[in-house]
Structure 1
Amino acid sequence: MHRHFASLALGGFLFGLLTLGVLLPYPAQAEEAQYTPAPENLENREAFQDDKFGIFIHWGVYSELGRGEWVMNNEKIKVEDYKPVAEKFNPTEYDPAEWVALFKKAGAKYITITSKHHDGFALWDSKVTDWDVVDATPYGKDLLKPLAEECEKQDMKLFFYHSHLDWSHPDYYPRGRTGQNLGRPDEGDFDKYLNYMDAQLAELLVGDYGDVAGIWFDGWWDQRDYEAEDPQTTKVDWRLDKTYGLIHSLQPGCMIGNNHHVAPFPGEDFQMFERDLPGQNKSGHSKDSTIGDLPLESCDTINGSWGYNANDKKIKSKKDLVHYLVKAAGQNANLLLNVGPKPDGTIQPEFVARLTEMGEWLDEYGDSIYGTRGGSVGLQEWGVTTTKGDAIYVHILQAPEAGEEGWVTLAGTADLAVGDLTLFGSEDEVPHQRGDDGNLQVKLPAGAAEAIDTILVTQAAE
């Protein structure tokens, strides 16, 4: 349900947030060191775990340059030279109804879009800056509001990605590990910047964007003290308790996640892993991260880029993407799969093709993914298991070589108690036995070696 607030009340609220030292009159500013999730928040966490698949959207002024969302930092483009790029950003082909319909067809249950990325540009009509899509571009219209309306219409949840760091704001000082030499003043008031950030978050949470499913933070690591023994140490006070308190006070059901690559902080409601499954560190981001007790999410790209990159043609295959989704589910995590729309508002055909293929696979096999939790057999070379109620789904992603008489051994299954074993979607029984090492051995149907995922179904045995 959309929430409508009088502009005068909102303006006064934001003025209070932006006025240094005038934060106490707003109960939203209660700190969250002793955070107790609201009942609706706990309900949303459970539903989030059921959803299993979401779409990430990186889109903004950087899309116009077509070299990824870090182009401002990577090419050391000064603020005075970067801001005029917005004068070309005119996504006249943007059709949020078409976007949401595509993502539903792909089988996604929620969307996470960059409300503000590291360049500081806002995709809505922010009242506390002109560095936004309404004031700085020829398009001149809010990009988030029509998306929120379509999400409500088409029963899709909407999360907002919001960057902690800001390469454009003069008060983001001291500068962190990124955004050096971009022409900003060598001074600033970090608390004033945080008030600005909180004011923008308040706009999203009390504006016309409905029930926001969650806030997906990124950029805390920019100020991390990498030489400190405690990986959670930063060189500045991010006031996370205050910001988290603001969010949960305005919308108690709104889930907070933070891509900080360390153990979860109090006040957070889900934990994410960038380009990694939980417990892995292939990307190099998660070396200090531990798996907490919160719902989990892995995020990655269809090609190699988050924001639109005209030269990135390394498109992952349907098999790669389905395997990622299945492995994430087996590790008790969601998959948040990214698209980087073009500056005109269209989504690249190769992304559309992959998403359509994902949807076709989920139409047939989604019961083994949606609503499941990670099974007792964690990720193995052959695959993984998921569970739902009494059902156990054995996902064979890479069939081991068959041994004597065609038996295939599934390593790691010695403690997996199974009853009758059938092929997913049929009543065909799959022969099974125990090997000398106690592991489950099965005889797979013809074509299993070439299949993207051969799914066996059983009930947990007493």
Structure 2
Amino acid sequence: MKICRLLFLLVAVSALTNDLNAQEGYVPTQENLDNRTWFQDAKFGMFVHWGVYSVLGGGGDEGIAEWIMNNKRIPIKQYEKLPSFFNPINFDAAEWVRMVKDAGMKYITITSKHHDGFAMYDSKISDYNIVDKSPYGKDVIKMLAEECRKQNIKLFFYYSQLDWHHPDYYPRGRTGQEFTGRDESGNWEDYLEYMNTQLTELLTNYGPIGGIWFDGMWDKKDADWQEGKTYQLIHNLQPGALIGSNHHVKPYPGEDFQMFEQDLPGENTTGWQGSHISELPLEMCLTINGSWGFNIKDQNHKSPKELVQLLVKAAGRNANLLLNVGPMPNGEIQPEHKASLKAMGDWMDKHGETIYGTRKGIVAAEDWGVSTQKGKKLYLHILDWDKDVLLVQPFREKVQSVVFFADKSKVKYRLDDYGLILEIPKNKKDEVDTILEITLK
């Protein structure tokens, strides 16, 4: 049965013999366009970096986590011992999804395979996976997919195109070099077929998914990734699925959303992703502390205030916030992170109307804050302003009313040639976000 299934997957991949640039003429289906709108309305999701690397807890160095194989130069033969220690007996898919819902999040993006090549699902083309190689022996992705459907949360799959383990990932890229112990040979075409077969497994065995979140193309930026063939495969198998790639350049034809790593769109404080902002739906991914995967020494936990303000800043730039947690090797989320997520959920319960379903407002992002908008409702999010009067300029819209969102009390304002002048008494200011609701005529 396993062999028959594998043959089916290989045939499905090999059947895609169209021109490799097929996605140059990509026309999204209506389902895909509807899902893009849903994605933009959702605004908030949870990123999960989880794999056998969590067993090492970052190796005592902050910031390593999921990169420990490369950064500590662990050969494949030694790294392959890790799965035998990976036994997440406390993993509870229902609890995870409830936590996501309580945080006000609408979707989950989880690592199905990271750069170390280990699959967190029951892959048939390779036994280097959680079912075949760990004492846990269960498909956590399958359990999570089933629970997401029950609780109406969309599930996206992160998939690393980069692979430090597979012998056919050759020539090597910038990372995962000679320390791995791999032969200095390999067939790039065979690797791409392997990758597309794994993607076929993910797209055919786990029900409808939100999309595929790619990472790793930057490792070999000049390689022939044949992304047109891969993107066509995904859109053929699940036309509604959204494709995004963390390649740090302008989106390629066939991609459905654009992401920004540890950065607000256009700011490029990291220096590696440029300032181009496309017309596609946008997403900012961010660590809740300083690491993507579990790191036992990382205590750089962002406060609930910081996290809420980053969510608001992202929304004011037309982007979602994909907030990452790195589960512990036992399958539990760190208590500090659970507490922060709950605090964000409490805030969203009260103020979600100013975030969900909005787009960036007509008032551009400023040092003091941002605006979001839904029809004639314009929300000013004042995040950092210690004066009693705020001048918003330019402002040329006609105003029907201005109130504090929290209690609907009136805001004193004046609209003239200089702009919109707003009075904000100290007793009306909120430590996290003072929100003004402006109804436009």
Structure 1 residue identity aligned to 2:193 = N
- Aligned residue for 2:405? 424
- Cα deviation, 1:310-349, whole Å, max 9, x if unaligned, reads 0000110111000000000000000000000000000000
The answer on whether the counterparts of 2:21 and 2:226 sit within 8 Å (CA) in structure 1 is no
- Aligned residue for 2:11? 16
Deviation at 1:291, TM superposition (A): 0.8
The answer on whether the counterparts of 1:28 and 1:245 sit within 8 Å (CA) in structure 2 is no
The answer on whether the counterparts of 2:404 and 2:435 sit within 8 Å (CA) in structure 1 is yes
CA separation of 1:171/1:199 partners in 2, compared to 1, >3 Å: closer, same or farther?
same
- Aligned residue for 1:90? 87
Hey, what's the Cα distance between the residues in 2 that align with 1:132 and 1:448? Answer: 54
- Aligned residue for 1:248? 235
Hey, what's the Cα distance between the residues in 2 that align with 1:108 and 1:28? Answer: 39
Hey, what's the Cα distance between the residues in 2 that align with 1:162 and 1:382? Answer: 37
Hey, what's the Cα distance between the residues in 2 that align with 1:254 and 1:429? Answer: 44
CA separation of 1:173/1:447 partners in 2, compared to 1, >3 Å: closer, same or farther?
farther
CA separation of 1:178/1:185 partners in 2, compared to 1, >3 Å: closer, same or farther?
same
Deviation at 1:303, TM superposition (A): 0.3
TM-score, with length taken from structure 1: 0.91
Deviation at 1:284, TM superposition (A): 1.9
Is the aligned partner of 1:454 residue 2:440?
Answer: no
Higher helix share: 2
Deviation at 1:458, TM superposition (A): 1.2
Hey, what's the Cα distance between the residues in 2 that align with 1:434 and 1:390? Answer: 17
Deviation at 1:378, TM superposition (A): 1.9
Hey, what's the Cα distance between the residues in 2 that align with 1:129 and 1:101? Answer: 32
Hey, what's the Cα distance between the residues in 1 that align with 2:184 and 2:54? Answer: 28
Structure 2 SS opposite 1:429: coil
- Aligned residue for 2:62? none
Match of residue 382, structure 2, among 384, 391, 396: 396
Structure 1 residue identity aligned to 2:372 = T
Is the aligned partner of 1:70 residue 2:67?
Answer: yes
The answer on whether the counterparts of 1:399 and 1:448 sit within 8 Å (CA) in structure 2 is no
Hey, what's the Cα distance between the residues in 1 that align with 2:251 and 2:40? Answer: 17
Match of residue 106, structure 1, among 86, 103, 120: 103
The answer on whether the counterparts of 1:205 and 1:212 sit within 8 Å (CA) in structure 2 is yes
Deviation at 1:17, TM superposition (A): 5.7
- Aligned residue for 2:216? 219
> Sequence identity of aligned pairs in percent?
53
- Aligned residue for 1:440? 420
CA separation of 1:81/1:388 partners in 2, compared to 1, >3 Å: closer, same or farther?
same
Deviation at 1:411, TM superposition (A): 4.2
- Cα deviation, 1:341-393, whole Å, max 9, x if unaligned, reads 00000000000000000000000000000000011112111100000121100
Structure 2 SS opposite 1:347: coil
- Aligned residue for 2:35? 44
The answer on whether the counterparts of 2:156 and 2:212 sit within 8 Å (CA) in structure 1 is yes
- Cα deviation, 1:409-454, whole Å, max 9, x if unaligned, reads 234443454331001143311001147x713221114334552101
- Cα deviation, 1:192-235, whole Å, max 9, x if unaligned, reads 0010000000001111x1101100000011112xxxxxxxxx1x
- Aligned residue for 2:371? 385
Match of residue 327, structure 1, among 313, 334, 344: 313
Hey, what's the Cα distance between the residues in 2 that align with 1:75 and 1:30? Answer: 38
- Cα deviation, 1:90-121, whole Å, max 9, x if unaligned, reads 00000000000001000000000000010011
Structure 1 residue identity aligned to 2:39 = F
Equivalent residue pairs, number = 434
CA separation of 1:121/1:216 partners in 2, compared to 1, >3 Å: closer, same or farther?
same
The answer on whether the counterparts of 1:377 and 1:416 sit within 8 Å (CA) in structure 2 is no
Structure 2 residue identity aligned to 1:38 = T
Structure 2 SS opposite 1:145: helix
Structure 1 SS opposite 2:190: helix
CA separation of 1:424/1:9 partners in 2, compared to 1, >3 Å: closer, same or farther?
farther
CA separation of 1:27/1:254 partners in 2, compared to 1, >3 Å: closer, same or farther?
farther
Hey, what's the Cα distance between the residues in 2 that align with 1:324 and 1:413? Answer: 24
CA separation of 1:186/1:146 partners in 2, compared to 1, >3 Å: closer, same or farther?
same
Structure 1 residue identity aligned to 2:404 = L
TM-score, with length taken from structure 2: 0.95
Is the aligned partner of 1:291 residue 2:277?
Answer: yes
Hey, what's the Cα distance between the residues in 2 that align with 1:376 and 1:425? Answer: 21
- 4+ runs of 1 displaced by more than 6 Å? 6-9, 25-30
Hey, what's the Cα distance between the residues in 1 that align with 2:21 and 2:273? Answer: 30
CA separation of 1:214/1:358 partners in 2, compared to 1, >3 Å: closer, same or farther?
same
Deviation at 1:130, TM superposition (A): 1.0
Hey, what's the Cα distance between the residues in 2 that align with 1:106 and 1:441? Answer: 35
The answer on whether the counterparts of 2:47 and 2:108 sit within 8 Å (CA) in structure 1 is yes
Q: What are the within-5 Å matches in structure 2 for residues 169-188 of structure 1?
A: 169-181=166-178, 182-188=180-186
Hey, what's the Cα distance between the residues in 1 that align with 2:360 and 2:304? Answer: 22
- Cα deviation, 1:293-317, whole Å, max 9, x if unaligned, reads 1000001011010000000001101
CA separation of 1:87/1:339 partners in 2, compared to 1, >3 Å: closer, same or farther?
same
